[in-house]
């Protein structure tokens, strides 16, 4: 039976008494605000939230939440969060991680949490740099980026977070940007309600070591023409004048403008986040400016069995027929003898 909340929560109910020690202007502040707003909207008792983090600037997050939390070690947040959820399936478990923490040292745990579809919510802060350790390139850094560990420009091809999630059989993938608090809040609410692993990539700004990395799509003057906010069941329209959209041209997405070649809203693709076949969702997740607008919003949200619930059900079935019902039964099973 669902628990009924006596008092409605507010954002302030989720603020801890700790001083927030992120740099002034860091995008992490906006993410924190968005998450606290989202939790206040969920009909979940406060004591059932748990925030798990690894290492990095973003991983200070649990200290700033007035909830249960655990600050783990580098790259191991997915493993810890999976264990927490499996041990207590009634908890709402949130993993806070960065592009380095999740995709480099933590990459193995990350993809297997997604493959297993553990019912956790993973917020991945992507500033395309190692911030806490002072500016080394990360697995998502743009090829050619000059950093302290790539003084002549990195020669590596970066990961696409959405591509990685969908390739690991991910059931829920969304993308937002730190400056859009309203969109972020709504995405976190949807992620919390989804049963299974929810991955939310946050395009987040590091003002010290990679300032302005997302400006090409976040500046007020250009953001409407360079990003597309997807909404399930609605046509894919974008642009400052809402006069652009996406169609499927053969096997590729194509940007079109209303009025050109007779194009109208009726010609546009309608977003289907619930479609099990990830083909179009995969293409949407991989869109990059300047050829395409960057897709924001919930890109994929499909159902599937969750690891934690499957484990719980398996244990229940085994217990029905098990001869061993207690620790005494276990200790007295098999070959036993008395010592005089």
DSSP letter string, 137-199: --TTSPTT--BTTBTT---SPPPPHHHHHHHTT-SEEEEEETT-HHHHHHHHHHHHHSSS-EE
- What are residue 199's DSSP bridge partners? 122, 173
- Please give the average per-residue pLDDT across 152-170, as a whole number: 97
Quote the pLDDT of residue 3. 56
Instruction: State residue 5's pLDDT score.
Output: 53
Q: Residue ranges of the domains in the chain?
A: 11-234+271-308
- Which band of pLDDT confidence, cut at 50, 70 and 90, is reported for residue 337? confident
Residue pair 138/125 in contact (Cβ under 8 Å)? The answer is no
The secondary structure element, H or E, covering residue 248 is: strand 244-249
Q: Which two tokens stand for residue 52?
A: 């798990």
Q: What is the mean pLDDT of residues 216-234?
A: 96
- Compute φ and ψ for 13, nearest 5 degrees: -65, -20
Residue 339 has what pLDDT?
A: 87
Helix-strand-coil percent breakdown of the chain, rounded to 5? 35, 20, 45
Average pLDDT, stretch 110-126? 98
Superfamily of domain 11-234+271-308: Thiamin diphosphate (ThDP)-binding fold, Pyr/PP domains (3.40.50.970)
As a whole number of angstroms, the distance between CA 73 and CA 236 comes to: 41
Q: What 3 state SS string does 158-175 have?
A: CCCHHHHHHHCCCCEEEE
181-193 helix and 28-41 helix, angle to the nearest 10 degrees: 50
CB-based contacts of 195: which residues, under 8 Å, 6+ apart? 119, 303, 306, 309
Neighbours of 211 (CB within 10 A): 12
Q: Which residues of 132-150 are buried (b: 16+ CB within 10 A; e: fewer)?
A: beebbbbbbbeeebebeeb
**Both structure tokens of 14:** 């989720």
CB 115 within 8 A of CB 169: yes
Q: What does the pLDDT read at residue 192? A: 98
Closest CA to 163 of 323, 299, 320, 72: 299
- pLDDT tens for 10-50 read 999 999 999 999 999 999 999 999 999 999 999 999 999 99
């Amino acid at each position: 039976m669902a628990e009924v909340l006596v008092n409605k929560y507010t954002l302030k109910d989720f603020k801890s008494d700790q001083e927030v020690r992120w740099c002034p202007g860091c995008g992490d502040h906006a993410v924190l605000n968005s998450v606290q707003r989202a939790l206040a909207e969920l009909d979940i008792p406060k004591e059932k939230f748990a925030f798990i983090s690894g290492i990095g600037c973003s991983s200070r997050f649990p200290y700033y939440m007035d909830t249960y939390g655990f600050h783990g070690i580098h790259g191991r947040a997915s493993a810890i969060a999976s264990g927490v959820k499996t041990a207590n399936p009634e908890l709402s478990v949130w993993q806070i991680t960065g592009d380095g923490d999740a995709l480099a040292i933590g990459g193995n745990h990350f993809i297997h949490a997604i493959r297993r579809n553990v019912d956790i919510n993973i917020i991945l802060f992507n500033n395309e740099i190692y911030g806490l350790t002072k500016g080394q390139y990360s697995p998502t850094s743009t090829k050619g980026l000059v950093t302290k560990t790539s003084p002549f420009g990195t020669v590596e091809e970066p990961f696409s977070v959405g591509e990685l999630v969908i390739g690991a059989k991910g059931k829920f993938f969304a993308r937002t940007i730190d400056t859009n608090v309203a969109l972020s809040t709504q995405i976190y609410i949807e992620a919390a309600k989804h049963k299974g692993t929810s991955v939310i990539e946050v395009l987040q700004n590091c003002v010290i070591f990679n300032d302005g990395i997302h400006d090409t799509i976040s500046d007020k003057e250009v953001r409407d023409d360079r990003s597309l906010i997807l909404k399930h069941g609605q046509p894919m329209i974008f642009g400052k004048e809402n006069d652009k959209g996406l169609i499927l041209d053969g096997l590729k997405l194509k940007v079109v403008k209303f009025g050109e070649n007779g194009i109208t809203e009726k010609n546009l693709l309608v977003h289907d986040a619930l479609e099990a076949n990830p083909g179009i969702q995969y293409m949407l997740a991989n869109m990059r400016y300047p050829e395409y607008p960057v897709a924001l919003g919930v890109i994929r949200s499909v159902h599937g069995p969750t690891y934690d619930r499957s484990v719980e059900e398996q244990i229940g079935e085994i217990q029905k027929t098990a001869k061993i019902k207690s620790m005494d039964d276990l200790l007295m099973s098999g070959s036993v003898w008395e010592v005089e």
